[in-house]
Amino acid sequence: MVKSLDELVNISFYVLQGAVISIKIYVVTIIFAIPLGMLCAMGKLTKIAPLKWFLEMYTWLFRGTPLLLQLFFTYFGLPLLIGVELSREMAAYLTFIVNYGAYFTEIFRAGIQSIDKGQYEAAKALGMNYRMTMKRIIIPQAVKVILPPTGNEAVTLIKDTALVSVIALADILRNAKSVVSRTASVEGYFVAAALYLIITFIIIKIFKYIEKRFAYYD
């Protein structure tokens, strides 16, 4: 067990250092996966059959296989398959962006399709083209539908970042495990749990605030 307050502070600081990697992966994933999901959702709603087929395969593949398996394939499999070697961080970024992009694709597609067809007809009657209709009418209303499931995925994402410990990235979990092995005590796990809870609390509060801002559609 931890013998002093100083030791507990040192443990907390070491585990906290792992939060840098976890938060970097989180932020990069959010920044790139959300636009990717929106573009793919729009692609799935087009009448271009090859594009729709490709995107169906993309979402089926990345939603239907474990994120951990995808991470292993990106980091260990790509060098064997096509000779492409990525750094640990780059492998994590790429895997998480493509994986979460697939989930966001389906969330956004469902949100857009939930808007009544009459909205399209009304926009057409006002002389709006498809682009203007999506930008001014459909997307703003769809955002309100999309926000709750997007918030859920955002919370899941910070917990999923713990998977990068398997490719030796010094994230929160890996640093916590290192502390536990070194001190033969469980305080490292408690500190890691506290960090995840604090981060998820902040994420939930942010999305609740955003949802309130879009409540004018009620």
CATH number at residue 34: 1.10.3720.10
At residue 1, the pLDDT reads: 52
Contacts of 190 (CB under 8 A, 6+ apart): none
Residue 21 in contact with residue 164, Cβ under 8 Å? yes
The answer to whether the predicted template modeling score (pTM) of the entire model surpasses 0.85 is yes
Closest CA relative to residue 30, chosen from 148, 151, 140: 151
Distance, in Å, from the CA atom of 115 to the CA atom of 91, rounded to the nearest integer, reads 37
Distance, in Å, from the CA atom of 10 to the CA atom of 93, rounded to the nearest integer, reads 29
Closest CA relative to residue 159, chosen from 112, 184, 193, 191: 193
Number of domains in the chain: 1
Residue 158 in contact with residue 203, Cβ under 8 Å? yes
Q: Output the CA angle 136-124-117, nearest 5 degrees.
A: 80
Residues of the chain with pLDDT under 50: none
Alpha helices, DSSP H, located in the chain:
5-44, 49-64, 67-72, 78-81, 88-113, 117-125, 130-133, 139-160, 172-183, 187-213
- State which residues form the domain around 23: 5-217
At residue 169, the pLDDT reads: 92
Contacts of 55 (CB under 8 A, 6+ apart): 40, 43, 44, 105
Closest CA relative to residue 101, chosen from 167, 196, 37: 37
At residue 131, the pLDDT reads: 74
CA 183 from centre of chain: 33
The pLDDT tens digits of the residues spanning 9-59 come to 888 899 999 999 999 999 999 999 999 999 999 999 888 999 999 999 999
